[in-house]
Chains A and B, each alone.
Chain A
Amino acid sequence: MIILGICFGYHDSSVCIIKDGEIIFSSEEERFTYLKHDSSFPLFSLQYGLKKYGINSNDIDHVIFGENPYQKFLSRIDTFIHHDFTSLTNFISLTKKWLGNNLWSVKKISDHLNISLDKISYIDHHEAHHISALYQSNFKNSYSLVLDSIGQNESISLYLNNTLIKTVPFNNSLCYLYSLVTNWLGFSPNSSECTTMALSSFGKEMTYNPFEALVHFIDGEIVINKELLNLNSMNSKLHIKQIEKILGTPRTPQENLDLSCFRSSNPQSHYADIALAMQDVFEDTIISFLNYHCEDKEITNLCISGGGAHNCKLIRKINENTHFANIFIPQAPGDAGLALGAALSKCGRIKLNTPLNFNLGSHVDLEEIKDLILNLSENDLKNYTSDHNKFSNLEILKLDQVEHSRFIANKIDEGKIIAIAQGQAEFGPRALGARSIICRSDSTEIATKISKTIKKRASYRPYALSTTLDKAKEIFDCEHIDTTFYGMQTDVKIHDNFKNEVIGAIHIDQTTRPQIATPDTFFHDIISNTKNKIVLNTSLNESGYPLCKSAKEAFLLFLKTPIDMIILENLLVIKK
């Protein structure tokens, strides 16, 4: 039985294929189109998935769309009539978006796949988020929190197993407020919220937190003061103006923030203080919400999904300040996970005790460029060199897995920067060893080099680390390790005596976003052969581009930037 989940039209369109109860493929469209957060119909990922697994349209038993387009349309019309009727631009954008596109989503799927409409159904947005978490969680009894900017019309939903127990409407959306603040700080909204979170660690507590007058938690309800920020309306330009009234002149993107994770002291920054104020109110409100509504204290399991689940600081705070002992977050908690949730809604729960599989995306497809790699001459390579990326030749090695991992581990200890493209790509935003750039974690020089010349990212954004379970128990200052530690989904404090071992992958507040590598994998072998059993791990991409899909994108990035060597399946390519 083949079930297809699809989502598009909002953020991060994606496709998921489930065959006989097993998730065989799940990927964001952005990996195939190189357009970050691509929301168009996932044509290229769909074609790839179907071709790779030999599936024809006739083989598909059911397709589920991860959104109820009709209900959402009615909800938007209702909001427009009641709150935005005086805005011509809202009318035009609403009618163009819905009558021109989103309302015909089901028909579009039918046309693209050439299958009858009765094989296609749809599911509520938040329900798809919730199912993507609960059905993969291995929890028999659990609360499930969907933390979103906006779903059909809700921003937060809380479920007890499959029963919806509480919702918070969009007009009190905390995540949307977080995005507005991200925009005010000069970062891309709906994309760079993690940068706001990273910036908050440099902040000092303000004597007057401007968000305390804006956000209230009263008798179990999250309430945003409509006189200050009118979220009844969907007019984002109005919201931006209202936020400017509260916070003052916004930061422009080119305004320099002289902050660095790699310095022991940093100057005070008003922007960091605002980011911290927002983060504090966000955390406090969500924790109050959970403590109030999760009445059954016997249930210590919590699933979290929705874009808000990317906030790893919040996840740690939930761990520390609520009764929940086990937190589960799916591979792609944001809108990219809707396709997976939609498909799971039809096929049911994944078998109990199945470990969460992050590697569901595209394959490396090395054969596409193997001849190219083996035949690039010194003359060809001249075109790819630059002042910070000097090399004249490539050495190509084929090694077996044991030799390979030891060899790589030695190179890491020597200070080399290594790219990995192995097996199926990660589904979701985190690079976990299938499409990663790794290096020593005890060097700020190497981390700075990666920031400046490869990732081109600001120095106030920290790196994550990957380690083994034994080492994690030694260095992490926490009582309990749950599944969020396997997917860089929480942050954790590092014991003081190990700080020097992770100085390149630690934030200013002594926390890091950890990944415990799955045992018996090539990536685990590499880490366990390094001197410290820890590596700095960041995603294999450049700023503004999604994670590399296959060998050709990875190899191009390798040639373009000062990465010292790249692993492409069993091939090791070294710059000389």
Chain B
Amino acid sequence: MSLLKIKYILSSYLIENSHSFLLSFLKRFHYIEDDSHWQIMTAINLDTPLELKKKLFLQAYEEREHATIFKTILTKSSQTPFLYESSSRSIYYKGNDPYRFSRLCQIGEGDALTKFINIYKFTKNLDLKKGLHQIIKDEVEHSKDHENSLFRDKLYWFRYKYATLGNKVASQISFVLLTFVYFLLLPYTSILYFLNKAKK
């Protein structure tokens, strides 16, 4: 628990003191909220029971509002234009049980809420504090209707959350390897290039 607290204090410190960290934080959270909105909208279909459909539709609406809040602060803080980058989408629950999907969404929301509350506590960035206040208010209001999540749902969410960790590690390893290859190749290729030029 105290480790997590240190993480949030560190994040808040970096938000205050590193502009690039603030921008990447805002961008990441914009994409997370926007992805939740997309996951829910994609899950709503002909077979979704009416009451659940109502609940999911409202939830999608709020997630989109939250994504907009982060994007607005991002645009306000950034010195450069917003770049549309494709962060590819993948559906996190492919089963046919809409109630299970809803429970998974609640776990995701709860997870995000903990982060938001902690960043809210420690951050001194006024725009971010104001935006987070609105988001936390909505999420707390939501959590009143939450059903108890099952252990298997928590496990499913945990697996989904850390599934991308492997990719991130692989990306860092490939970065190191490519840097190594680059410095290995650079002198040889440069010599070949200049020799070739001299021949001509």
Query: Contact between B61 and A383 (Cβ–Cβ < 8 Å)?
Result: yes
B175 within 8 A of A: yes
Query: Contact between B60 and A92 (Cβ–Cβ < 8 Å)?
Result: no
Instruction: Give bound CA distance, A33 to B61, whole Å.
Output: 16
Query: Contact between A380 and B75 (Cβ–Cβ < 8 Å)?
Result: no
Q: Which residue of A lies closest to B185 (CB)?
A: A91
By a CB distance below 8 angstroms, the chain B residues around A85 are 186, 189-190, 193
Q: Mark B141-177, 1 if CB is under 8 A from A, else 0.
A: 0000000000000000000000000000000001100
Q: Mark B117-132, 1 if CB is under 8 A from A, else 0.
A: 0000000000000000
Query: Contact between A91 and B182 (Cβ–Cβ < 8 Å)?
Result: yes
Q: Which residue of B lies closest to A188 (CB)?
A: B81
Query: Contact between A556 and B60 (Cβ–Cβ < 8 Å)?
Result: yes
A368 within 8 A of B: yes
Q: Mark A82-104, 1 if CB is under 8 A from B, else 0.
A: 00010010011001100010000
B79 within 8 A of A: yes
The distance from the CB of B82 to the nearest CB of chain A, in whole angstroms, is 5
Instruction: Give bound CA distance, A187 to B178, whole Å.
Output: 33
Among A34, A183, A252, A376, which residue has the most Cβ atoms of chain B within 10 A? A34
B76 within 8 A of A: yes
Q: Mark A170-202, 1 if CB is under 8 A from B, else 0.
A: 000000000000110011111110000000000
Query: Contact between B50 and A33 (Cβ–Cβ < 8 Å)?
Result: no
The distance from the CB of A310 to the nearest CB of chain B, in whole angstroms, is 15
A81 within 8 A of B: yes
B80 within 8 A of A: yes
Which of A91, A369, A559 sits near B53, CB closer than 8 Å? A369
Residues A188 and B186 in contact in the complex (CB < 8 Å), given A253-B75, A254-B75, A372-B53: no
Q: Which residue of A lies closest to B60 (CB)?
A: A556
B88 within 8 A of A: yes
Instruction: Give bound CA distance, A376 to B54, whole Å.
Output: 8
A289 within 8 A of B: no
By a CB distance below 8 angstroms, the chain A residues around B87 are 35
Instruction: Give bound CA distance, A190 to B82, whole Å.
Output: 11
- Among the 9-residue stretches A38-46, A59-67, A121-129, A432-440, the one with 4 or more Cβ atoms under 8 Å from chain B is A38-46
Query: Contact between A36 and B84 (Cβ–Cβ < 8 Å)?
Result: yes
Residues A371 and B84 in contact in the complex (CB < 8 Å), given A252-B79, A254-B76, A383-B58: no
Chain B's interface: helix, strand, loop or mixed, by majority?
helix
Which residues of A310-349 have CB atoms within 8 Å of chain B's CB atoms? none
Q: Which residue of A lies closest to B88 (CB)?
A: A40
A507 within 8 A of B: no
Which residues of B1-54 have CB atoms within 8 Å of chain A's CB atoms? 34, 37-38, 41-42, 44-46, 50, 53-54
Residues A95 and B178 in contact in the complex (CB < 8 Å), given A34-B38, A544-B71, A553-B41: yes
Instruction: Give bound CA distance, A189 to B38, whole Å.
Output: 25
Query: Contact between B80 and A372 (Cβ–Cβ < 8 Å)?
Result: no
Query: Contact between A253 and B82 (Cβ–Cβ < 8 Å)?
Result: yes
Which residues of A525-576 have CB atoms within 8 Å of chain B's CB atoms? 544, 552-553, 556, 559-560
Query: Contact between B61 and A559 (Cβ–Cβ < 8 Å)?
Result: yes
Instruction: Give bound CA distance, A553 to B40, whole Å.
Output: 11
Residues A380 and B84 in contact in the complex (CB < 8 Å), given A368-B44, A368-B45: no
A296 within 8 A of B: no
Instruction: Give bound CA distance, A34 to B81, whole Å.
Output: 19
A375 within 8 A of B: yes
Instruction: Give bound CA distance, A37 to B34, whole Å.
Output: 15
Which of A41, A189, A552 sits near B83, CB closer than 8 Å? A189
By a CB distance below 8 angstroms, the chain A residues around B38 are 33-34
Query: Contact between B86 and A37 (Cβ–Cβ < 8 Å)?
Result: yes
Which of B37, B61, B189 sits near A384, CB closer than 8 Å? B61
Instruction: Give bound CA distance, A92 to B183, whole Å.
Output: 12
The distance from the CB of B31 to the nearest CB of chain A, in whole angstroms, is 9
A367 within 8 A of B: yes
Q: Which residue of A lies closest to B47 (CB)?
A: A368
Which of A40, A187, A188, A383 sits near B86, CB closer than 8 Å? A40
By a CB distance below 8 angstroms, the chain B residues around A37 are 84, 86
Residues A81 and B81 in contact in the complex (CB < 8 Å), given A371-B53, A372-B50: no
Q: Which residue of B lies closest to A189 (CB)?
A: B81
Query: Contact between A81 and B193 (Cβ–Cβ < 8 Å)?
Result: yes
Residues A556 and B61 in contact in the complex (CB < 8 Å), given A252-B79, A375-B50: yes
Query: Contact between A92 and B179 (Cβ–Cβ < 8 Å)?
Result: yes
By a CB distance below 8 angstroms, the chain B residues around A380 are 54, 58
The distance from the CB of A478 to the nearest CB of chain B, in whole angstroms, is 34
Q: Mark A360-403, 1 if CB is under 8 A from B, else 0.
A: 00000001110110011000100110000000000000000000
B78 within 8 A of A: yes
Which residues of A133-175 have CB atoms within 8 Å of chain B's CB atoms? none
The distance from the CB of B24 to the nearest CB of chain A, in whole angstroms, is 17
Residues A556 and B84 in contact in the complex (CB < 8 Å), given A85-B186, A92-B178, A92-B182: no
24 interchain pairs, CB-CB under 8 A: A37-B86, A41-B88, A81-B189, A81-B193, A91-B178, A92-B175, A100-B174, A188-B82, A188-B84, A189-B83, A191-B84, A192-B81, A252-B80, A253-B75, A253-B78, A254-B78, A369-B53, A372-B50, A372-B54, A372-B57, A383-B58, A384-B58, A556-B41, A560-B65
Q: Name A's B-contacting residues (CB within 8 A).
A: 33-41, 44, 81, 85, 88, 91-92, 95-96, 100, 182-183, 186-192, 252-254, 367-369, 371-372, 375-376, 380, 383-384, 544, 552-553, 556, 559-560
Q: Can you list the 5 inter-chain pairs with the closest CB atoms, starting with the nearest?
A: A40-B88, A37-B84, A33-B89, A188-B81, A39-B86
Q: Name B's A-contacting residues (CB within 8 A).
A: 34, 37-38, 41-42, 44-46, 50, 53-54, 57-58, 60-61, 64-65, 68, 71, 75-76, 78-84, 86-89, 174-175, 178-179, 182, 186, 189-190, 193
